[in-house]
Structure 1
Amino acid sequence: MMAGPIVVGLDGSKPSDAAVEWAAADGRRRRLPLKIVHVCERWPKGFDSRKYCLGTLEAAADRARAVGKEVEVTTELLEGNVVELLIGQSASADSLVLGSRGSGGFAGLMLGSVGLGVAGHAAGPVVIVRAPAVVEQGQVVVGDDGSEAAREAVAYAIEQARARHARLLAVYAWQAPIVSAYAPDYGNLLEDSFQEEARTARERVIRWREDHPDLEIADRQVREHPVPALIKASGTADLVVVGSRGLGGFASAVLGSVSHGVLHRSHCPVAVVRPRGKRS
């Protein structure tokens, strides 16, 4: 991961407040500075929108310092296109954290619009937070398929799990290819294919365990579509990490399919990780 600040987008909504708290706690765990940015809308004449926005930023900074304790917190007030500005911020950030829905400066922030737009084009990890954590589960879940994006996702998930003193669970979900049921030995062919893919996935996990002996790493290989497999795992996770695109078991993992589905339905915050230099 990049050694820049964690950047959190603020608009004053409850999800963005939860994002500020999540980002401050992440900064405390990983010993990174926090930068809170607020894109200020232009209000009707006679109303000092800048004063209101600065007040919103100040209140968020106070909340972040209370959660992050020793975390260095800075703020920045911006004007312009929300998506473009946030994507620009991501270029020098360790990660970008957003609430799942927004108001005010993030007037369109709901999954499928600004949130998905940023997650689909940011230069690094984008974490979407729906609500404050009530109970810590002690587990980080990562979706793995061996692709470049998945490798970046695993690296981020390992860093998160270590900082949280949590277990890492790597989920490989294999969706059977479309083959005629009348093909000779149909059932055995599918089972053999799954077993081969699962073996390769387990070998990746063995290497991670060797490289990170201090970390508890569990693995799960299932014959299931990736979205429901990851949603199930999110029920006992503090964070789910997915690559921005995938192949093999995550053949359709572009925002709008697997990442889109996980963002919409996860029970915990979701990090979408794009390899640096792979903005699209």
Structure 2
Amino acid sequence: MASHIVVGVDGSAPATAALEWAAADAQRRGLDLRIVHVCEQQPRREGIEHCTRVLEAAADRARRLTSDVKVTTELLGGNVIEDLIAESESADSLVLGSRGFGGFAGMVVGSVGLAVAGHAVGPVVIVRAPSAVRYDTVVVGHDGSGHSEAAMAYAVEQARARKARLQVVFAWQVPMFSPYAVTYNSLIEDAMREAMRAARERVEPWRVRNPDVDISDEQRCARPVTALMEAARSADLVVVGSRGMGGLASALLSSVSHGVLHHVTCPVAIVPSVKETP
């Protein structure tokens, strides 16, 4: 089991928010904190000095925010995407700001953030800004797929560490049929009721295995991204699998995880099904 969280910093406001989130998570869960900065533009001495200052400032801030967390730093000099993916191989999780400058420009909505979230070996947490309000609620999307099972495990751990409620969301979108196709509409309604029943039953074993965590479940007739966006309005963290039941095997991120990353403003954790090199 990995003993440290990795956070990437570049001196930007979202990266600072990511650092603060990672420091708090390391404190809660008894993990070490590894702070990395990818200095892609290396050759000139001024560039190296600037990168070193960014890293040192981040370490100083993390140590002020924590009491007994072991904080280490490393200045990396390769390709930002490759370096961050490599860092995820030995980390409990990788935490990044949603946007930055330099190597982190375009995070989340750009190619760098999506590539890291899609290829990382373990959970990737994207943080946009410091949280002004605490809701004591973790939200997880769960559809029974392997990726959502891994997301559920991470969400349970987060809820336990936070002493927060875990809200499990399952969304089922009803296909559109002609109003005259009464038989088909009846079949769809039956299928929807069965899907909702199965979703409730899938949550029960998690309650049995984790009696110390307050786990509630909610089934919604809505698009998955819409349902998660609504639940996220009163959540401290939203957790989703990197792919779900509808994801293509070749896709880096499912449409749901992609949509959540773009539209949910609280921290979002993207969790792959197993830890293996992409």
**TM-score, with length taken from structure 1:** 0.93
Deviations 1:11-36 (A, max 9, x none): 11100000000000000000000000
Q: Write the letter of the residue equivalent to 1:271.
A: A
Q: Which stretches in structure 1 are left out of the alignment for 5+ residues?
A: none
Equivalent position SS for 1:135? coil
Distance in 1 (CA, whole Å) between partners of 2:42 and 2:122 is 32
Kindly indicate whether the alpha-carbon contact (under 8 Å) linking 1:103 and 1:109 is maintained by their aligned counterparts in 2.
no
The equivalent of 1:136 in structure 2 is 134
* Deviation at residue 279 of structure 1 after TM alignment: 4.9
Kindly indicate whether the alpha-carbon contact (under 8 Å) linking 1:9 and 1:98 is maintained by their aligned counterparts in 2.
yes
Deviations 1:187-210 (A, max 9, x none): 322221111011111111111111
Note if 1:19 corresponds to 2:18.
Answer: yes
Q: Write the letter of the residue equivalent to 1:24.
A: A
Note if 1:9 corresponds to 2:8.
Answer: yes
Kindly tell me the number of residue pairs found equivalent between the two proteins: 277
* Deviation at residue 43 of structure 1 after TM alignment: 5.8
Kindly indicate whether the alpha-carbon contact (under 8 Å) linking 2:119 and 2:252 is maintained by their aligned counterparts in 1.
no
Distance in 2 (CA, whole Å) between partners of 1:96 and 1:16 is 12
Alignment of 1:206-217 (within 5 A): 206-217=204-215
Alignment of 1:1-280 (within 5 A): 2-42=1-41, 45=44, 47-177=45-175, 179=177, 181-247=179-245, 255=253, 257-280=255-278
Equivalent position SS for 1:101? coil
Deviations 1:86-126 (A, max 9, x none): 00000000000000011023234342311111000000100
Distance in 2 (CA, whole Å) between partners of 1:267 and 1:108 is 16
* Deviation at residue 234 of structure 1 after TM alignment: 0.4
Kindly indicate whether the alpha-carbon contact (under 8 Å) linking 2:42 and 2:48 is maintained by their aligned counterparts in 1.
no
Q: Write the letter of the residue equivalent to 2:61.
A: R
* Deviation at residue 276 of structure 1 after TM alignment: 2.4
Deviations 1:16-70 (A, max 9, x none): 000000000000000000000000132674x521111111111101111122221
Kindly indicate whether the alpha-carbon contact (under 8 Å) linking 1:254 and 1:260 is maintained by their aligned counterparts in 2.
no
- Closer/same/farther in 2, CA of residues 38 and 209 from structure 1, 3 Å limit: same
Equivalent position SS for 1:240? strand
Q: Which stretches in structure 2 are left out of the alignment for 5+ residues?
A: none
Q: Write the letter of the residue equivalent to 1:264.
A: H
Distance in 1 (CA, whole Å) between partners of 2:97 and 2:150 is 22
Distance in 2 (CA, whole Å) between partners of 1:34 and 1:149 is 26
Distance in 1 (CA, whole Å) between partners of 2:113 and 2:175 is 31
**TM-score, with length taken from structure 2:** 0.94
* Deviation at residue 3 of structure 1 after TM alignment: 2.2
Q: Write the letter of the residue equivalent to 2:23.
A: A
Distance in 2 (CA, whole Å) between partners of 1:76 and 1:102 is 18
Equivalent position SS for 2:217? strand
Deviations 1:213-249 (A, max 9, x none): 111101100111100100000000000000000016x
Distance in 1 (CA, whole Å) between partners of 2:43 and 2:2 is 40
State the percentage of identical aligned residues.
60
Deviates more, 1:28-37 or 1:186-195: 186-195
Kindly indicate whether the alpha-carbon contact (under 8 Å) linking 2:141 and 2:148 is maintained by their aligned counterparts in 1.
yes
Q: Write the letter of the residue equivalent to 1:269.
A: P
